[in-house]
A and B are shown apart, each in its own frame.
Chain A
Amino acid sequence: MAQPADRPFLRLFVTPSVLVAGGFIASLAVILQYSLRAHIPGELEPGGFSLGNFTDMLKPLYARAFVDTVLICAETAFFTLLLAYPLAFALVRAKSPFLKSLLLVTAVTPLFLGEIVRTYSWIIVLGNTGFVNSVLRGLGLIDQPIQMMFTKFGVVVALVHVTLPVMVIMLSAAISHIDRDYEKAAASLGASPVRTFLTVTLPLSLPGIIAGVTTSFAWTFSAFATPQLIGGGQVSTISTLVYQLGFANFNFPFAAALSFAGLVFTIMVIALLRRAARPLEKMGGHA
């Protein structure tokens, strides 16, 4: 490989990203230093050096928020995967170009809705007098509305909608790279279509599944508007707690510490999933 110095145009390309990265690192450094200082109630300026913010995080209230956030992320990733896989599979394998475009548009539309618009649409759908409850009541299936707003269930439903497009795109990339000859070979060896799918297609799409789950996980971990608006304060995640601590209690040091812990945690989860995926990555496509 040639040294960057040999190719001056590289400097031109790299400079903007270095500047952006520098900005990020600087702000992270600021957050880190905030997190290591004591909070003085009633003051916006933090006090001196302290590790208290990090030890406070072990309190049941915050530990619970961590656990809840992880559960929400895991459930979201799981249900997104369940919905996205058939969509991605049909998208890749559909023969008719019309059906393909229809599936693609359906799958990626949520990407083009703003976060707030999307979240408010879910409020309309999930509310006690919302779409779902009205239909169920109209059909005489329920007397009392089912509580979906301000519940973890509602938050997960809305988050699945957020991560679906990216999951579909990542899964279809993985599925489209599976050589159809593997499936033909399985069929010729006596595997029914279902067993071919379970023993060949699904394992070969694992790298895409891991990538999609990782992305979905990281994305929902940092989601704010959805848990804040749909959860309405009843569902605490790391992001909503950070917001509450920072902008309701003005406890910036603790908010900074919580953000930092969340970031480190996310990086650890991604690293772990990556590690699990490593042997699988060499597997897809041609041997």
Chain B
Amino acid sequence: MNSLADLPRTTDIAGQPNAAKPAVRIDGVSKAFGDVTALHEAWLAVGRGEFLTLLGPSGCGKTTILNLIAGFLEADSGEIFLDGAPITNDPAHKRQIGIVFQNYALFPHMTVEKNVGYGLRMRGVDKTEIARRVGEALELVKLPGYGGRRPRELSGGQQQRIALARALVIRPKVLLLDEPFSALDKNLRSAMQVELKEIQRSLGVSTVFVTHDQSEALSMSDRIAVMSAGRIRQIAAPGEIYRAPADRFVASFVGDTNIFQATRVSPTSVIVGGFLIDVMPGPLEGTIDGQEVELFARPEELSLTSAGAPGTLPAEVVTKVYQGGYSDFYVTTPLAAERVLVRIHGPAALELWPEGAKIGLVLPKTGANAFPPGE
């Protein structure tokens, strides 16, 4: 049906299934700018049709990775593959990669039609074919009939869609998006997130998406690569990143978390305030039994009950915030250096404990994570 759907994703040039080859592979790529190492030996593979997100704080090297894939930067070392072929030394214009820039970068001196058709003109596609494919692309982003407009006559969201159409119309081997929604207001951003996800799925285009917004990453991605200071800390599905973060950085950057003083009793269990808690295996390797460690628990893994109930930590309510479907309680307890956030679903909880009330804090028996103490 839609010719945009015949992306080179399921067969290679010879018509052979090549699902085994990742769309993009980055093998030990490093990049430094003078003294600043923007990327330390990154290893990454983006599967066919996969939506992979690079998540991390500003300056951690996300854009650097995109620029390396796109060919705007040269790697200091390592190798980059596109559909299994090395492209490390190919110039940007020979790579067939679609890019959506943060500020859209629509050519201001061209109409929407000319913008979207630009990549096809550069490829020498004939005029009628260009018109057909531009029409399809505009339909795909739900802006048919906008071909004659100028970019400055469009709203931010519309410019975004045109930028997406322009990148997709060349049937890119991989689609790169660098914080595409950061300039949009909250409602428009959610709408665009859903729409991008739908388009990405329907075309099955392999995608690398960059954001510093952890909730955006969790909601859109097939997998997330969490980065910090030029290093990829963990690559995993959103659920796994959230439930089993690989280190303290990932645990605190993705989602809300609370930190309690704990003592290791085995590689998979700790004691907090006299209670034994099973934790995810892995992060405690390298520590010894009896060592002081820290327990990370998500707000929704905690609950509150009346003070002094067996199996609870003594705590006191500092503030509570009604959030609609749930309520956030901020409580203090001697076992946590900072205020603890407890998220309780349902409207009833708000009535139960006034601010200043002594309560019992219930820790999860399993499922939390413990890490060696950090700075």
Contacts and interface: CB of A to CB of B under 8 A. Distances in A.
Bound pair (A, B): yes
Interface string A168-186: 0000000000010110111
A204 B108 contact: yes
Contacts of B99: 184-185, 188
B103 A286 contact: yes
A191 B93 contact: yes
B227 interface: no
Given A191-B122, A200-B107, A184 B151 contact: no
A283 interface: yes
A149 to B, nearest CB: 44
Given A189-B166, A189-B170, A182 B70 contact: no
A188 B152 CA distance: 22
A71 to B, nearest CB: 30
Interface string A197-219: 00110011000000000000000
A193 B151 CA distance: 23
B98 A188 contact: yes
Interface in B136-166: 151-152, 159, 166
Q: What is the interface residue range for chain A against chain B?
A: 20 to 34
A181 B152 CA distance: 16
B105 A179 contact: yes
A182 B152 contact: no
Interface in B78-100: 91-99
B93 A287 contact: no
A93 B309 CA distance: 70
B230 interface: no
A181 B100 CA distance: 10
A286 B122 CA distance: 23
B119 interface: yes
B60 to A, nearest CB: 20
A284 B103 CA distance: 14
A280 B106 CA distance: 16
Contacts of A182: 105, 107
Interface centre among A184, A193, A196, A204 (most CB of B within 10 A): A184
A282 B108 CA distance: 9
A222 B27 CA distance: 64
Contact of A287 (B91, B92, B159): B159
Interface in A241-287: 280, 282-284, 286-287
B118 interface: yes
Q: What is the interface residue range for chain B against chain A?
A: 20 to 34
Contacts of B95: 188
B186 interface: no
Interface centre among A185, A200, A203 (most CB of B within 10 A): A185
B92 A188 contact: yes
A195 interface: yes
Given A181-B103, A185-B105, A188-B92, A287 B152 contact: yes
A282 B151 CA distance: 11
B92 A184 contact: yes
Contacts of B91: 187
Contacts of B151: 287
A181 to B, nearest CB: 4
Contacts of B159: 287
B180 to A, nearest CB: 13
Nearest to B166: A189
B101 interface: yes
A184 B106 contact: no
A287 B119 CA distance: 20
Given A184-B70, A184-B92, A189 B119 contact: yes
A184 B101 contact: yes
Nearest to B94: A190
Contacts of A185: 99, 101, 105, 107, 166
A234 interface: no
Contacts of B101: 181, 184-185
B125 to A, nearest CB: 10
Contacts of B106: 287
Contact of A188 (B93, B103, B107, B108): B93
A54 to B, nearest CB: 42
Nearest to A188: B99
A192 interface: yes
Given A188-B93, A190-B93, A287-B106, 12 more contacts: A179-B103, A179-B105, A184-B72, A186-B107, A187-B93, A189-B167, A190-B119, A199-B118, A282-B108, A283-B109, A287-B151, A287-B152
Interface of B: 70-72, 91-99, 101, 103-109, 118-119, 122-123, 151-152, 159, 166-167, 170
- The 4 lowest CB-CB distance pairs between A and B, nearest first, are A189-B119, A181-B105, A190-B122, A187-B92
13 contacts: A181-B101, A184-B92, A185-B101, A187-B92, A188-B95, A189-B122, A190-B93, A190-B122, A195-B122, A204-B109, A280-B109, A282-B108, A283-B108
